[in-house]
Amino acid sequence: MTAIQINNLSYQYPTSDFKLSINQLNMTENLVAIAGQNGAGKSTLFKLLTGLVQLQAGEIQINQHDLAGLTPEDRLKTIGIVFQDPSSQLFNATVQQEVAWSLSQTGTDAAVVAEKVDQVLTTVGLIDSKDKNPFDLSMPEKKLLSIATVLAVDPQIYLFDEPMISLDWPSQQLVTRIMQQLAHEDHQVITITHDMDWLAATFSKVYVLTEGKVSFEGTPEAFFGESGLAQETGLLTPRIMTIAQEVLGDSRVYLTPEDYWEKKHTS
Ligand SMILES: Nc1ncnc2c1ncn2[C@@H]1O[C@H](COP(=O)(O)OP(=O)(O)OP(=O)(O)O)[C@@H](O)[C@H]1O
């Protein structure tokens, strides 16, 4: 089990009034979603977790080790991020080299690299494109390649910033399966998402940020079950719940169509 512990965190951009403040947060679940309106501070939290910006106050601990004290190599092996825009992550001449480059940053033995590259490219369905230039890939393929570069390093914690954006349905299903498999293997998977249907169907724990503060932590069932909370925090409810409410006047919590069917037939 991985535990991220945040104490008295505070961060303010030099050129903006926005301030992220988290007094105490203890993240231990393997499948975690971070939600919140635009500008709530979700990406800023990811930047702090990956060291892209430095904490101004407080501490972030991973399994009781201060994140700030990790060497760059240990940090890579601890937390990996898949950015929203894959183009910001890709710069090598071939798909194969792109994945090999990310592994070379962790001092991996050259003999292991080729095998690992093939393995992760197979996982994301890009093995037949390994000699292509990353910029000749489609947007979903670029995203899958950026996921492969992180899978190759195999960090303890995976951060995904809006992974579903610009993916077609098969790629969405593939990425969801990869995340579930990672969580099953006891990695921690933390995802920023605006997709409430996907959040409700996939995650066991949700943290909602509102204006730089954690305004809710709990299960999706508890979040959508608290009357008016989704609306107050600027989020939608799952579509099945909206339909049940608006068409049938049924205001119970339904996370997925399957959940609706089950609850209807067991009550
Ligand atoms: N580099 C920066 N310099 C100054 N202000 C910034 C910078 N990056 C973000 N901000 C501001 O900080 C606030 C939080 O931004 P952040 O990107 O963390 O929000 P978010 O919840 O990820 O939003 P979104 O859902 O739109 O991605 C916003 O008001 C944003 O304008």
* Digit-coded pLDDT (tens) for 13-46: 999 999 999 999 999 999 999 999 999 999 999 9
Q: Which of 84-88, 143-147, 259-263 has the lowest mean pLDDT?
A: 84-88
- Whether 73 is a known active-site residue: answer no
Classify residue 151 by burial, with Cβ atoms within 10 Å: 0-12, 13-18, 19+.
buried
Bridge-based pairing state of the strands 205-210 and 213-218:
antiparallel
Give the helix ranges, DSSP H, for the chain: 42-50, 72-78, 95-104, 110-123, 139-153, 169-184, 196-202, 220-225, 229-232, 239-248, 257-266
Q: What are the residues whose beta carbons fall under 8 Å from the beta carbon of 221, sequence distance 6 or more?
A: 253, 255
Ligand 1 binding pocket includes 42 (Cβ within 6 Å)? yes
Q: How far is CA 147 from CA 16, 20, 52, 120, 228, in A?
A: 31, 27, 19, 9, 36
Under DSSP, is residue 53 helix (H, G, I), strand (E, B) or coil?
Answer: coil
Virtual torsion, Cα 24, 54, 28, 166, nearest 10 deg: 120
pLDDT at 144 over 90: yes
Using an 8 Å Cβ cutoff, are 29 and 204 in contact?
A: yes
Q: In the chain, which segments carry CATH 3.40.50.300?
A: 1-69+156-228
- Pairing type for strands 57-62 and 65-66 reads antiparallel
Centre of ligand 1 to C-alpha 166, Å, is: 21
Is the pLDDT score of 267 beyond 80? no
Contact 107, 186 (CB under 8 A): no
Report DSSP state, residue 168: -
Pocket residue to mutate for ligand 1, from 16, 22, 164, 199, most atoms within 8 A of Cβ: 16
Q: Residues 44-95: pLDDT tens digits?
A: 999 999 988 989 999 999 988 999 898 888 888 999 999 998 887 788 899 9
In the set 73, 141, 162, 262, the catalytic residue is 162
**Sign of the C-alpha dihedral, residues 176, 37, 256, 184?**
positive
* Distance of alpha carbon 148 from alpha carbon 125, whole angstroms: 10
Question: For 183-192, what is the mean pLDDT?
Answer: 97
The protein residue with its alpha carbon nearest to ligand 1, atom 5, reads: 16
Q: Is the C-beta atom of 124 inside 6 A of ligand 1? A: no
- What is the C-alpha separation between 25 and 103, in angstroms, rounded? 31
CA dist., res. 3 & res. 60, Å (int): 10
Is 238 in contact with 256 (CB distance < 8 Å)? yes
1-69+156-228: which CATH architecture? Answer: 3-Layer(aba) Sandwich (3.40)
Q: Which residues on neighbouring strands pair with residue 69, listed in sequence order? A: none
* β-bridge pairing 188-192 and 31-35: parallel
Looking at the CA of residue 212, tell me the nearest atom of ligand 1.
14
Q: ipTM of the predicted structure?
A: 0.97
